[in-house]
Amino acid sequence: MLSESSKITRPEYLKMLPELAMPLTVRIKFVKKGKLQYISHLDLQRTFNRILMRSGLPVWYTKGFNPHAKLVFSTPLSVGTQSECEFLDLRFDREMPCEDIKRMLNAELTDEMYALEVYIPNTKFSEIAFCEYEYEIFADMASEGFAAELERVFTTSPLTLVKKSKSGEREIDVVPLIKSVSAEYNKGSGSIRMTAVLSADTENFLNPEMLVTAIKAKYGILTADNPEEWYSITRKKSLKADMTEFR
């Protein structure tokens, strides 16, 4: 294995790796937070392509006039949402230890986006049914009573919002797409911390930002008029239909 103390150079090490008869799929679980929460999914794809080129990893490339690495991401992340559980599947044409892949990737990444795990997957992204999100809401009306009110709002049907999709806009009741929700007031920070498990399958994906949209519309808070009020959203887990954690 390649290590920092090894006298073998990276190019020499990569040439020593056994070639594979068929490309092997490797899964990368990574963090995306901080300022990088504001880059789009398309920008994320471009960023990873550059990272892979710099890393020199033996990624499998398509054949033809415009060879490129085949990047397959799990459930897309909304702009403005951080994540501790993003997934990317890549194909490799040489056999390489997962720890070395992780080390070489992280050498090109930052403290706002880095690999947590690298492994050979035995699941499909289509098995992701729900995602768990953590919200932190800083607002003047934050209190224990308001936390209880949020729980009531997001568990009482109907809660009608406009959902945008490629086919257009339509009104939906979002409550059936909320598996669970809990909220509590944090006296130390003066904020509301809310955890919500939302539908994430391809047919019934619920954007976590829609819950904030509902809060803004109902209570008139978190607007640009009051810069001291703000919120954050972090994807914490991806879950299968049986509520076990996706990996």
* Annotated domain spans of the chain: 10-122, 128-239
- The CATH T-level fold of domain 128-239 is Alpha-Beta Plaits (3.30.70)
The residue-averaged pLDDT of 121-148 equals 97
Q: How far apart are CA 163 and CA 118, in angstroms?
A: 35
pLDDT, tens digit, for every residue of 118-129?
Answer: 999 999 999 999
The residue-averaged pLDDT of 55-67 equals 84
Nearest to 77 by CA among 176, 207, 185, 183: 207
pTM for the structure as a whole: 0.90
Instruction: Judge if 10-122 and 128-239 fold alike in CATH terms.
Output: yes
What is the chain's length? 247
- Does pLDDT of 9 surpass 70? no
* Residue 90 near residue 70 (C-beta atoms within 8 A): yes
Where on the phi/psi map is residue 220: left (φ > 0), alpha (ψ -120 to 50), or beta?
Answer: left
Strands 82-94 and 72-73: antiparallel
- What is the greatest pairwise CA distance in the chain? 65
Alpha helices per DSSP H over 154-208: none
Q: How far apart are CA 121 and CA 26, in angstroms?
A: 7
* Torsion angle, alpha carbons of 50, 56, 59, 63, to 10: 80
> So what CATH class is 10-122?
alpha beta
Nearest to 29 by CA among 113, 100, 128, 92: 113
Label residue 160 by pLDDT band (50, 70, 90).
very high
The residue-averaged pLDDT of 161-169 equals 81
Look up residue 62 and give its amino acid: T
Joined together, the tokens standing for residue 147 give 């936390």
Label residue 138 by pLDDT band (50, 70, 90).
very high
- Distance in Å from the first CA to the final CA of the chain: 25
Label residue 1 by pLDDT band (50, 70, 90).
very low
- Does pLDDT of 81 surpass 50? yes
- Does pLDDT of 73 surpass 60? yes
- Does pLDDT of 193 surpass 90? yes
Min mean pLDDT across 56-65, 86-95, 205-214 is at: 56-65
